[in-house]
Amino acid sequence: MLRDIIIIGSGLSGLSAALAFSHYLTPLIPDLRITIFELHPVPSTSGGALSLSPVALRHFDHLGILDELEEYGPESGVDVDAVEIFSSRTGKQISYLDFSGKHGLGYGDAETGRRYKARRVMRINLSLAMIAATEKRGNIKMVFGKKFLKAEQLEDEDRIEVHFQDGSQATGHLLLGCDGVWSATRRKFIDPGRDAKYTGFSLVQGTVKTASLKVKPHFRNSSMNLSKNGSLLITFHEKQHQEIFTSAMVECREESVKDHTELDKWKRDLINESLRKEISSRFKDSVIPFVREVATSPEVDWMMYPIYQVPLGGKWYTQRAILLGDAAHAMLPRDESAAFAIDDTILLARIISNHIDYPLETSFQVYDSLRRADIAHAFKDSAKLWQRRNTDAGPIETWFRERLIPFQIKHEMKFKSAEQFEGLRFEQSFVVVFA
């Protein structure tokens, strides 16, 4: 029996799981009830601007999130035709990551005929749009301020009981662990002992008002600026181009970044000042005036996010509980990480809807067999990408790296357009399994 679904966490995967399960299962289970339990008392405003791939946007459209996002007007994010890639050494454009497709209209969805480019949007706006979409569903409830502590499979029953820090409990037929990289669902219930590990990288990011900068941008919407000391992303994140989002991945030791966000304000201010110096030292010699100005501007409010990952492998599910998104496979961020979290939820919801008369574990097995290889591929690819981009290089190596970029992009785009953007891989999985 499947009627009550419990979701732990209201990040991208928790919210999209609620929408996907409501979308695919309500026609089969009219009295379906989905409850999301979130640790924070209100939606979190943390995080910068996310890059959403055409694949993620297509999913969002199917789930009704894109319509909600459009309600935000200019704050619904900026469409990205291409991320332009520049050499900070020569100032020249080396290559670009194209999201506009052959005819400049974006990538198409064979089912609906709609087309999508990429988009850069602030994470908080996306979360609020997703929450608005859940409110329209009628069978999704959100409960804030509930910290998941532990769960147990009730003996001789088809239910799981979850326990929260405030002493309350809830029971459900299916538990979805969408509680991110530090997932208590993973560590306390599904796969105890599989802890997150620091990657050696932290993301330094900030925003700055365009009007506070004297120099004009050298790109249309989004740029990646390579130097011998790493790369600086500089991008707009709203339609009116009034604010810029910028970020750089830096290598640093875990001791220096641990508990960074929990420090006193004066200590955080000191760290932020050192982040400013770090970014300035890496990019102040760029021959591109706009890169120099952003990297050295006192107006940027720099923040640091240490990046942790969940080692590959491990267990993803038990009899009635399964991990999704970062809880299962947090990795170094790449443009599609959010799309991976969303893919997880849609894939699982569709598999369960196609196996509605089977035990949940059968669906979990099918899901696991379809998902493992893709996740392992993405995980290894992300690690290679940052290793390649970020290790400090001398002048000769920098020269070679710049020349290799167009080939690497071509390879990546071939993979993306053939297997992801046209939806082939995702749909094919279903053809193979369910035809």
Ligand X SMILES: Cc1cc2nc3c(=O)[nH]c(=O)nc-3n(C[C@H](O)[C@H](O)[C@H](O)COP(=O)(O)OP(=O)(O)OC[C@H]3O[C@@H](n4cnc5c(N)ncnc54)[C@H](O)[C@@H]3O)c2cc1C
The one-letter amino acid code at 389 reads R
Pick between residue 7 and residue 393 the one whose CB is nearest to ligand X.
7
Q: Which is nearer to ligand X, 343 or 402 (CB)?
A: 343
Instruction: Let me know: does 394 contact 229? Beta carbons within 8 Å.
Output: no
Where in 241-280 is the site for ligand X (CB under 6 A)? none
Per CB under 6 A, the list member of 131, 307, 310, 405 interacting with ligand X is 307
Pick between residue 326 and residue 402 the one whose CB is nearest to ligand X: 326
Site string for ligand X, 44-63 (x = CB under 6 A): x-----xx------------
Q: Which of residues 168-197 bind ligand X (CB under 6 A)?
A: 178-180, 184
- Of 330 and 393, nearer to ligand X (C-beta) is 330
Stretch that binds ligand X, among 11-19, 128-136, 238-246, 423-431 (CB under 6 A): 11-19
Which H or E run includes 144? strand 140-144
The answer to whether 148 contacts ligand X (rule: CB under 6 A) is yes
- For position 305 contacting ligand X by CB under 6 A, the verdict is yes
CB distance 97 to 117 below 8 Å: no
Instruction: Tell the smallest beta-carbon distance from residue 216 to ligand X (Å).
Output: 25
How many residues touch ligand X under the rule CB under 6 A: the total is 33
Of residues 53-112, which lie at the interface with ligand X (CB under 6 A)?
none
Task: Specify the pairing of strand 4-8 against strand 174-177.
Answer: parallel
Q: Within 10 Å of residue 28's Cβ, how many Cβ atoms?
A: 13
Nearer to ligand X, 44 or 365 (CB): 44
∠ Cα 403 396 284 (to 5°): 90
Strand (E) or helix (H) holding 249: strand 243-251
Q: Which parts of 194-213 interact with ligand X (CB under 6 A)?
A: 203
Token pair belonging to 87: 């050499």
Interface residue with ligand X, options 108, 177, 206, 333 (CB under 6 A): 333
CB-count burial class (<10 Å; 0-12, 13-18, 19+) for 43: middle
Of 429, 51, 424, 80, give the one whose Cα is nearest residue 221: 80
| Torsion angle (degrees, nearest 10) of CA 317, 323, 327, 328 | 60
Please state, as a whole number, how many other Cβ atoms lie within 10 Å of the Cβ of residue 27.
9
Which residue's CB atom is positioned nearest to ligand X? 11
Q: Interface with ligand X by CB under 6 A: which residues? A: 8-14, 37-40, 44, 50-51, 147-148, 178-180, 184, 203, 305, 307, 325-327, 333, 335-339, 341
